Amino acid sequence: MIQTDLKGNIQFKKSVATWQAAIQLAAQPLVTKKIITPAYVEAIIQNVNENGNYFILLPEIAMPHARPEFGSLKDGLSFLKLAEPVFFPGQVPVTIFFVIAAATDDGHLEMIASLGELLSDPKVTEQLKHVTDTTELLTLVADY
């Protein structure tokens, strides 16, 4: 499921200036494909401002998302890997972003659970930190 959702939504970049720019860049494939609206991206940023870094799940790995009613039109997933970390409030570094979107609450929970399963494997999370291209990433997540 994760591999299918990611196709065409994977980016590798050297750096971005701010955590807000990283979220916007990571979400852009989903906006372009009309899976989410720009308002959904703004809701993610606003959530960080109001609630902190709640979606940074592991060192350097974040799963930015908002509630479906804030502009998620369909189910989708995108991936951004930065060579240089961007720093969230509290100087928390992040290099890997999985932006999730779901049209329903149940879909939202299923997406979080699938990604959680992937990220619960320490070998996978370590390999994610070293992945350098789309093929390598899709192979890594093929079983999830």
Is 130 a catalytic site residue? no
> Given the structure tokens 């879909």, which residue do they identify?
107
Residue 52, phi then psi, degrees to nearest 5: 85, -165
DSSP-derived letter for residue 129 is: T
Q: What residue spans of 33-121 are helical by DSSP H? A: 38-51, 105-119
Q: Which two tokens stand for residue 106?
A: 């149940």
* Residue of 65, 79, 95, 97 marked catalytic: 65
CB-CB contact of 131 with 140 (8 Å): yes
Q: Which two tokens stand for residue 77?
A: 């997933």
CB-CB contact of 144 with 3 (8 Å): yes
| Residues catalogued as catalytic | 65
